[in-house]
């Protein structure tokens, strides 16, 4: 797994076992995905159709 990574990332993750590497790599991306989902949900709710408004307008 380390051979496919950039040298700086390789050095940071060398002391870890495979499952620890995956956790270290996954955590920042999971936090980013959670923030994006929250923003998308907020955007969706701000675009709700108002009563009496046409769907096609």
Residue 44: φ, ψ to 5°: -60, -45
Residues contacting residue 18 through CB under 8 Å, at least 6 positions apart: 1
The Cα 32–Cα 29 span in angstroms is: 5
**Global pTM exceeds 0.75:** no
The confidence band for 47, taking pLDDT boundaries of 50, 70 and 90, is confident
The confidence band for 36, taking pLDDT boundaries of 50, 70 and 90, is very high
What is the pLDDT averaged over residues 29-52? 86
Cβ pair 49, 55 in contact under 8 A? yes
Residue 52 scores a pLDDT above 80: no
Q: Given this model, what pLDDT does residue 49 score? A: 67
Mean pLDDT of the chain: 84
């Amino acid at each position: 797994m380390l051979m496919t990574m950039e040298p700086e990332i390789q050095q940071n993750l060398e002391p870890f076992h495979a499952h620890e590497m995956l956790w270290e790599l996954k955590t920042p991306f999971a936090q980013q995905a959670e923030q994006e989902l929250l923003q998308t949900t907020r955007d969706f709710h701000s675009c709700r159709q108002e009563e009496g408004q046409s769907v096609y307008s």
